[in-house]
Amino acid sequence: MRTVLKRELIQNFKNLLIWSLSVGILGLFCILLYDSMQGDMKEMADAFSNMGAFSDAFGMSTLSIATLKGYFSTEIGAVHGLGSGMFAAITAISIISKEEDGHSGEFLFSLPLSRSRIIAAKGLCVAIMIIIFTAVCTGFYVIGFNILGEEMPMDQFFTFMGTQLLMNAEIAGICFGLSSLAGKNRIGLGLGIALLCYSYDVMGRVVPDLKDYLFVGPYSYCNAAEIFTETETPAKALVTAAVVLVLCVVFAFWNYNRRDLAS
Amino acid sequence: MSKKVIEINNLTKSYGKSRGVIDVSLSVEEGDIFGFIGPNGAGKSTTIRSMLGFLKFQSGSINILGMDSVRDHEKILREVGYMPSEAWFYDSMRVSDVIKYAADVRGGDYSEEAGKICERLKLDTTKRIKQLSLGNRKKVSITCAMQHKPKLFVFDEPTSGLDPLIQKHFFSLINEYVDKGATCLLSTHVLSEVDKYCRHAAIMREGRLTMLESPHIDDETFLSFYEDEEEES
């Protein structure tokens, strides 16, 4: 299993490097832009906080984007949320199916490994990838805060990054389950799932009737504006995330163990 | 009495409404080179892939080296060297990395044996998989299947894409392993291979298996197995 895990990590390293550096450096540049935009943002902050549901959706009614934490949660929070969700989705959606899609399946299946060991190695690889991705991005953001020298509530920042990691795990879990279905690459579907989850959250915050069902989506518990204003995260959102994650991973194991493998 | 290395009893496997194999029974004894012939889509690969646990079959039982193919799947694969008809690997890997990867998963150092096989097959291990022709990919597949000196070889159309000299080296390698106690199941469309190397043979047609009295058959008889199928379909 260790050999397969090592191989998967090597195979996915380039993807990890591209995505973590892209999202991390983009976030860092956005943080560094705060200094140059600070003067203009006071007026902008007033305008943005009075845009009704739109302000609510992006947290600008509760946090001023003229402050670093407000700026971080509305700008970088959205960039990281979307970027990390997409990375988690594309990593997980192809991790199982790529063997059959790329015809390398028969080589892998001919080695003395049970299907459960193969899928465990692949699941572990996805988990390691999203953890490293989060760590790299966290590093870039912390560097940005240090360069700015502005005060930033680090406990809330780490809570934000932690819940983002959980959101990534939930999206990856859904895509991991789908990846076990058949030997076809579905990167488009993975990206669609990440974008759909993000859109659902934005819509849920704009449309009052949807608010009660917001907890179903993975972005509901990792909203930067709520975390930085210390709004309590509904427990049902976290429980739903844990249940979805566990069910999807269990489904992947069950399905992969029961079905015929394509060559 | 020779030990049965492969024992298939009443194997039936279908893909939804499509026919796979029907009520196949087969036994291969230790030290045999067993020819497995039949037209495309007759069910040869389905039988092989059921044996190795890639496919879940509906009924019947398969015993490999005295172990149950479902329960002892992982143990069986330790003792089997399988070469699929399509030799695909990870494109970006070098040949040497693929061979080492297969050895590492098996938990052994087979570099000496692998080196010997690569030399015999004239395989350049420094190249990347994506740079290789079909024939050279087949050589990688042969090396991965042979390096751990398995008790059972399962080859699915191994010689397509190999030049005649390499084919000769390939069969001399098989003979050497078989002389040392290994067994070989050879699925092929090449009559001369069955005639020259196989000790027993069976033909698969429309999902059903028939044992041949002798693997030494003439061209016309061999082709009639294929023609009959064409006429029936």
Segment A164-181, tens digit of pLDDT = 999 999 999 999 999 998
Residues of chain A with Cβ-Cβ distance to B77 below 8 Å are 110-113
Residues of A in contact with B82 (CB under 8 A): 106, 110
In the numeric block, which tokens belong to residue B114? 């692998």
Taking the C-alpha atoms of residue A53 and residue A261, their distance in angstroms, rounded to an integer, is: 49
Whether B77 sits inside 8 A of A7 (CB atoms) is: no
User: Which amino acid is present at B25?
Assistant: S
**Chain B partners within 8 Å of A112 (Cβ):** 74-75, 77-78, 105-106
For position B205, what pLDDT does the model report? 87
> If you measure CA to CA, which chain A residue comes closest to B76?
A112
pLDDT in tens, B51-93: 999 999 989 999 999 999 999 999 999 999 999 888 888 888 9
Give the Å distances, CA to CA, from A109 to A79, A141, B230.
39, 42, 33
Highest mean pLDDT among A221-225, B88-92, B172-176: B172-176
| Residue B163 touches partner A, C-beta closer than 8 Å | no
B105 to A113: CB separation less than 8 angstroms, yes or no: yes
Query: What is the per-residue pLDDT across B117-170, written as a single tens digit (0 to 9) for each?
Result: 999 999 999 999 989 999 999 999 999 999 999 999 999 988 888 899 999 999
pTM: 0.87
Kindly give, in sequence order, each residue whose CB lies less than 8 Å from that of residue A196, ignoring residues fewer than 6 positions away: none
Q: Which strands, in side-by-side order, build the sheet including B59-64?
A: B18-29, B4-15, B59-64, B67-68
Residues of B in contact with A4 (CB under 8 A): 105
Q: How many whole angstroms separate alpha carbon B220 and alpha carbon B233? A: 20
The pLDDT tens digits for A185-217 are 788 999 999 999 999 988 888 887 888 888 888
Measured in whole angstroms, the distance separating CA B127 from the mean position of its chain's CA atoms is 25
ipTM metric: 0.87
Rounded to a whole number, what is the distance in Å from the CA of A86 to chain B's nearest CA?
A: 24
